Chains A and B, each alone.
Chain A
Amino acid sequence: MVELVIFVLMGSGALAGGVTVVMARNPVRSAMGMLGSLVSLAVIYVVNLAHLVAAVQVVVYAGAVLTLFLFVIMFIGVDRAEDTSETIPLQRKLVAGLALVVAVGAAVLVWRGRFSWTPAAAESVPIPNGTVQALGGELFTTWVLGVEITALLLTIAAVGAIALAFYRRSGKASAEK
């Protein structure tokens, strides 16, 4: 019962946030919609006992990533209105059709698949409790190579971002008009 209420509330919150991201003319509104979507999903994660994932979602996504987005929006400026005219003929209709196909396909797959929390073979499956201890144990034993590779990836990303920030074109020769 509690899960149902939270699912309906937070699910509609996540969807409303998503609609705001796509529809809002002002990028700051889009960012706020994304914030709502991310926090709603974090609550849904808590209901699914994914505690660490929920915490990381709020800290990393809602905290770091969204702040970064807002910084860049402020840097680039929000006053420039986006051109909303259709330059590619039929673009909107094609996108709507594609979205409908994907949505209907996914819905059919999900409801035909008849997922349930307990597989047919087992009587009952305990919900995996994603505490820091459990998830950390898993990450640093089974998935330790993946953790190291992502650490490397993060280092490369940071170095790349700094390189892009300090990049200056040397010489005047340029193919650009």
Chain B
Amino acid sequence: MLEVTPGWYMTLAAALFVLGLTGVLVRRNALVMFMSVELMLNAVNLTFVAAGRAAGVLDGQVAVFFVLVVAAAEVVVGLAIIVAIFRRRETASVDELAALRG
């Protein structure tokens, strides 16, 4: 019988991470880029849980807890910035935010 080893979980996490990476690099809507970042964070959380289980310790899940809190804080500030930019520039596309271009 096939057993699900930690390698399976880490492969799934790697696939999710790559998906998120692609989203950040290809999409131009700041909101979708943000969601892709969240996807990458989730992939890392999955590795933490799987690795913690493989090592037989709870520390992996504790790490996930902290990542979750930091991600929540990041979302709050990031979305506030996106809204602030939108109110001034009427756009959420990162291509149009080139004011710092030399």
Contacts and interface: CB of A to CB of B under 8 A. Distances in A.
Nearest to A129: B58
Interface in B1-21: 1-12, 14-21
Given A128-B52, A161-B76, A7 B4 contact: yes
Interface in A115-155: 115-117, 119, 122, 125-128, 130, 134-135, 138-139, 142-143, 146, 150, 153-154
A62 B21 CA distance: 21
Interface string B62-80: 1011101111111111011
A26 B53 CA distance: 37
Tell me the dominant secondary structure on chain B's binding face.
helix
Contact of B5 (A45, A73, A96, A115): A115
Interface string B24-57: 0111110110111011001001100110111111
Nearest to A12: B12
Interface of A: 1, 3-4, 7, 11, 14-15, 18-19, 21-22, 24, 27, 30-31, 34, 37-38, 41, 44-45, 48-50, 52-53, 56-57, 60-61, 64-65, 68-69, 72-73, 75-76, 80, 82-83, 87, 91-92, 95-96, 98-99, 102-103, 106-107, 110-111, 113-117, 119, 122, 125-128, 130, 134-135, 138-139, 142-143, 146, 150, 153-154, 156-158, 160-161, 164-165, 167, 176
A62 B3 CA distance: 30
Given A27-B29, A53-B65, A113-B7, A44 B46 contact: yes
A164 B56 CA distance: 43
B69 A176 contact: no
A57 B68 CA distance: 8
A15 B54 CA distance: 23
A45 B49 contact: yes
Contacts of B15: 15, 18, 103
Given A160-B77, A165-B83, A102 B68 contact: no
